[in-house]
């Protein structure tokens, strides 16, 4: 029952954060960071199964875009991790900057995909 563990860690992190917030805010932030990391770790185990399946798809279709897709997924997971923590502690401007950086990286990685799509489009058109 993976979800029970995740919920448990989430609640423990919540309690620790609330407790620390009264005394020192910076320790609350560190507790959130650690709790988030633990939960991500727990969910990464199941995620690796999904990714192996996607990789096996890649074998018989040998499409280059699946590896790009996986990379973008990884980047967005990490970006979302950082953005939600920054928003949580009230610094939405930092969250927006991280979000902006993440989007730029994703767009830069998806350029080959876009160019291939455009080429195939122009071939289709008369």
Give the binding site for another protein (CB under 8 A): 8-9, 12-13, 16, 19-20, 23-24, 26-28, 30-31, 33-35, 37-38, 40-41, 44, 47-48, 51, 67, 70-71, 73-75, 77-78
Shortest Cβ 14–another protein spacing (Å) = 11
How far is the C-alpha of 2 from the C-alpha of 51, rounded, in Å? Answer: 18
How far is the C-alpha of 83 from the C-alpha of 40, rounded, in Å? Answer: 14
Give the nearer residue to another protein in terms of CB position, either 12 or 104.
Answer: 12
Side-chain-facing half-sphere of 80: CA atoms under 13 Å: 7
Shortest Cβ 118–another protein spacing (Å) = 26
Give the nearer residue to another protein in terms of CB position, either 35 or 86.
Answer: 35
How far is the C-alpha of 124 from the C-alpha of 72, rounded, in Å? Answer: 28
Query: Taken in order 47, 49, 52, 54, is the CA torsion positive or negative?
Result: negative
Here the tokens at position 32 are 């959130």
Shortest Cβ 25–another protein spacing (Å) = 10
Shortest Cβ 103–another protein spacing (Å) = 16
Give the nearer residue to another protein in terms of CB position, either 44 or 118.
Answer: 44
CB atoms within 10 A of CB 43: 14
């Amino acid at each position: 029952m993976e979800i029970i563990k995740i919920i448990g860690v989430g609640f423990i992190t919540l309690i620790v954060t609330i407790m620390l917030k009264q005394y020192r805010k910076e320790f609350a932030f560190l507790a959130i960071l650690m709790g988030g990391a633990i939960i991500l770790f727990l969910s990464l185990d199941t995620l690796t199964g999904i990714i192996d399946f996607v990789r096996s798809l890649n074998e018989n279709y040998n499409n280059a875009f699946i590896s790009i897709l996986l990379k973008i997924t990884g980047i967005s997971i990490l970006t979302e991790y950082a953005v939600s923590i920054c928003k949580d502690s009230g610094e939405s401007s930092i969250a927006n900057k991280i979000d902006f950086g993440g989007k730029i990286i994703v767009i830069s990685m998806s350029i080959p995909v876009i160019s291939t799509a455009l080429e195939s489009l122009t071939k289709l058109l008369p």
